[in-house]
């Protein structure tokens, strides 16, 4: 162990940036990596078959920074596939992976503070953390901001299953741990972050930096259909684990969230189905009554949509 408390194997960090039609934001993301107080070994950017000028901008950035490499997908496969590609393409020397979405950005001291937290964790607990995350802010297109902060450390699977949520952009992950759990699931278009977090928390302890060092930009163009597909797959995959750690109320909360998303999308039939199942899991969740009433109101409106999410509870 060196003076910082880190293990003798020095961290060699690769940054993986998935990108799709981010010509207007990719330079900002890359600049936040270049401005880090600790230099990273390489920056692998995976273009997921963009149709705008994203690749041209990346190539221009690479001409001024030899650490930048552009990998291009021939077809669009989503962010999970792009992240997995990026990790595979990093140099073998890189033993830590930091993800950054192409529309997000880091504070200059983000990586340095994460390395310090890893050393502190090892000194205090006598074990290695395979992931260290920071708090992050979510900034909407209209200027609204929300702070997402957690101080959960160690074996945090229970917290992750209980709606603890950290985005990949705020994580620094040991490469061997990432590969041991199979990386991210390319079949999950949305909620892939939460799915990955659960599998990661089951495999390794987490360390934390409670300060906001990552900025996530939220866009008004987010599609409800993607979110709906993601939450259904998520419930199907993790239902047993949620019941084990948090009982019926934990599953009720997730079912009601799905009902709310369907209701917001105008899909009253699916929204009602999830709301009623959530209430069956925990009748004391009053939000379920509100979602049920909203769905019934939608059912009586012209042009109401049906739905068949097909998930058991």
Domain at 117, CATH number: 3.90.550.10
- Asked if residue 8 belongs to a domain, the reply is no
Looking at the structure of the chain, the number of domains it has is 2
Same-domain check for residues 22 and 96: yes
Separation of alpha carbons 293 and 259, rounded Å: 11
From 218, 246, 271, the end of a domain falls on: 218
- Band of pLDDT at residue 308, cut at 50, 70 and 90: very low
- Asked if residue 308 belongs to a domain, the reply is no
Do 282 and 298 meet the contact criterion of CB atoms below 8 Å apart? no
Same-domain check for residues 172 and 293: no
Range(s) of the domain holding residue 267 = 224-299
The CATH number of the domain holding residue 267 is 1.25.40
Q: What percent of the chain has pLDDT over 70?
A: 89
Separation of alpha carbons 83 and 15, rounded Å: 10
For residue 288 the two structure tokens come to 């379920």
- Band of pLDDT at residue 59, cut at 50, 70 and 90: very high
pLDDT of residue 311: 46
Same-domain check for residues 93 and 207: yes
Same-domain check for residues 193 and 273: no
Same-domain check for residues 199 and 95: yes
Residue 97: CB atoms within 10 Å: 25
pLDDT of residue 100: 98
Same-domain check for residues 202 and 233: no
- Asked if residue 306 belongs to a domain, the reply is no
Separation of alpha carbons 235 and 277, rounded Å: 12
- Asked if residue 68 belongs to a domain, the reply is yes
Separation of alpha carbons 222 and 73, rounded Å: 22
Same-domain check for residues 285 and 209: no
- What is the pLDDT averaged over residues 129-147? 92
Q: What percent of the chain has pLDDT over 90?
A: 56
The DSSP output letter for 41 is S
264 against 108, higher pLDDT: 108
Do 152 and 232 meet the contact criterion of CB atoms below 8 Å apart? no
Same-domain check for residues 50 and 85: yes
From 218, 242, 269, the end of a domain falls on: 218
Same-domain check for residues 214 and 229: no
- What is the pLDDT averaged over residues 227-245? 76
- Residue 79: pLDDT over 80: yes
- Residue 39: pLDDT over 70: yes
Same-domain check for residues 131 and 230: no
Separation of alpha carbons 2 and 17, rounded Å: 30
pLDDT of residue 298: 78
- Asked if residue 7 belongs to a domain, the reply is no
pLDDT digits 0-9 by tens, 153-205:
999 998 888 765 679 999 999 999 999 999 999 887 777 888 899 999 999 99
- Asked if residue 189 belongs to a domain, the reply is yes
Same-domain check for residues 161 and 83: yes
- Asked if residue 101 belongs to a domain, the reply is yes
From 185, 218, 251, the end of a domain falls on: 218
- Band of pLDDT at residue 309, cut at 50, 70 and 90: very low
Do 20 and 47 meet the contact criterion of CB atoms below 8 Å apart? yes
Same-domain check for residues 114 and 261: no
- Asked if residue 307 belongs to a domain, the reply is no
């Amino acid at each position: 162990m060196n003076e910082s408390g880190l293990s003798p194997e020095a961290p060699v960090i690769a940054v993986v940036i998935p990108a799709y039609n981010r010509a207007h934001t990719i330079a900002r993301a890359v600049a936040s990596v270049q401005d880090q107080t600790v230099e990273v070994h390489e920056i692998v950017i995976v273009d997921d078959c963009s149709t705008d000028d994203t690749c041209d901008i990346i190539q221009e950035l690479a001409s001024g920074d030899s650490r930048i490499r552009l990998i291009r997908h021939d077809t669009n496969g989503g962010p999970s596939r792009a992240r997995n590609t990026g990790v595979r393409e990093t140099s073998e020397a890189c033993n830590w992976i930091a993800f950054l979405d192409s529309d997000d950005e880091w504070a200059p001291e983000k990586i340095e503070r994460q390395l310090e937290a890893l050393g502190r964790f090892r000194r205090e607990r006598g074990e290695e953390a395979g992931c260290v995350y920071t708090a992050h802010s979510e900034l909407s297109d209209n200027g609204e901001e929300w702070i997402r902060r957690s101080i959960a450390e160690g074996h945090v699977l229970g917290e992750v299953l209980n709606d603890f949520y950290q985005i990949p952009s705020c994580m620094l992950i040991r490469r061997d741990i990432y590969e041991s759990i199979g990386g991210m699931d390319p079949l999950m278009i949305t909620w892939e972050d939460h799915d990955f977090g659960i599998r990661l928390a089951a495999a390794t302890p987490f360390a934390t930096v409670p300060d906001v060092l990552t900025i996530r930009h939220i866009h008004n163009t987010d599609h409800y259909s993607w979110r709906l597909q993601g939450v259904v797959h998520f419930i199907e995959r993790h239902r047993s684990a949620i019941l084990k750690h948090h009982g019926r109320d934990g599953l009720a909360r997730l079912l009601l969230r799905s009902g709310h998303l369907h209701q917001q999308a105008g899909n009253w039939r699916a929204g009602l189905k999830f709301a009623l199942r959530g209430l069956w899991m925990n009748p004391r969740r009053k939000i379920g009554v509100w979602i049920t009433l909203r769905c019934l109101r939608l059912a009586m409106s012209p042009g109401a949509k049906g739905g068949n999410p097909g998930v058991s509870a």
